[in-house]
Amino acid sequence: MTKILWAASDEVWSKFEAPLRREIAAQMPEAELVVGPHDPAEIEYMVYAPNGPVKSFDDYTRLKLVQNIWAGVDLILANPDKPNCPVARMADTGMAEGMSDYVLGHVLRHHLQTDYFASMSPGEWFHDDPPPLARDRKVAILGLGNLGIYCGQRIASQGFEVHGWSRSEKHVEGIKTYAGDQGFLDILGKAEIFVLLLPNTPQTQNIINADTLARMPKGASIINAGRGDAIVDADLISALTSGHISQATLDVFRQEPLPKDDPYWTTPNVLITPHVAAETRASTACIFALQNFVRGEKGEPFLALVDMEKGY
């Protein structure tokens, strides 16, 4: 009998238990769900989170796939006892839809100058020219993974001109793409709203800094729903204070929860959200996980595999 181990935290088990058991019964009824004490040598598939009980994979000699329940995999990659089998990131429809809801909502908020109007004093009626039409507003997606592509195409469907950057070359319908180091420098001058959906890798850490911020047009805005390590915080705060960057919406940070004394709380034109852009939805995450396990049993390629060398 195929054994599937629950290896995520007890904290989220109550959300996952019913949908996980339901999907096993529907997609893989011959499998057994293992929760709690077990023989590692018997486990073939693992539903995993880095904050769960499994810290070393050395004894899991029959593992075919580790299915992470998060989109980010940097904590797995940082583990000195990495899995010796394929690892898949979470790429379910619920995560993509949730992220694109968040990104599109805040792109529209920045585009329509909603914060400016919300801050008007009673009786204040003066304003500059109205916002441009969506077709005249350029949005850049930095990071064209599954979530970046999904968000970029959804933004493009609303009429915006969308540009996108990735480390390696990609061709995406509806998005003008850039790649590599020079491509990154090029895209910084091409948009007014920048959406960060970057993974946490050595190449992307601190990529938004004083130099790259200065290359963005004056008045540009930033939405970070990827990883906090992508931004040099002091440099962004300086750019916001000077007015070179008009506003920032930040969902991810180097330290979470964000400390009460962090300067972001008092920096003008910053909206802080508590890492809510792409929460894992148990119902759709369990569907995706079981689809991957079924593919493994059929000898088909797994979905959303992590490139352990590239780090995403």
Residues identified as active-site: 227, 275
In angstroms, what CA-CA distances link 248 with 14, 105, 270, 286? 35, 14, 5, 33
The residue among 285, 312, 221 whose CA lies nearest residue 48 is: 285
Residues 6+ apart with CB under 8 A from 293: 2, 4, 27, 28, 31, 45, 65, 67
The residue among 227, 225, 226, 250 whose CA lies nearest residue 237 is: 250
Please classify residue 66 by burial: count the beta carbons closer than 10 Å to its beta carbon, then call 0-12 exposed, 13-18 middle and 19+ buried: buried
Could you tell me the two tokens for 130?
């109205």
Could you tell me the two tokens for 78?
């940082």
Alpha-carbon span 32 to 293, nearest angstrom: 12
Length of the chain: 312
The residue among 105, 63, 113, 109 whose CA lies nearest residue 88 is: 63
Given a contact cutoff of 8 angstroms between Cβ atoms, the answer to whether 236 and 208 are in contact is: yes
Alpha-carbon span 150 to 101, nearest angstrom: 11
138 pairs with which residues across the strands? 161
Other C-beta atoms closer than 10 Å to the C-beta of 20 total 24
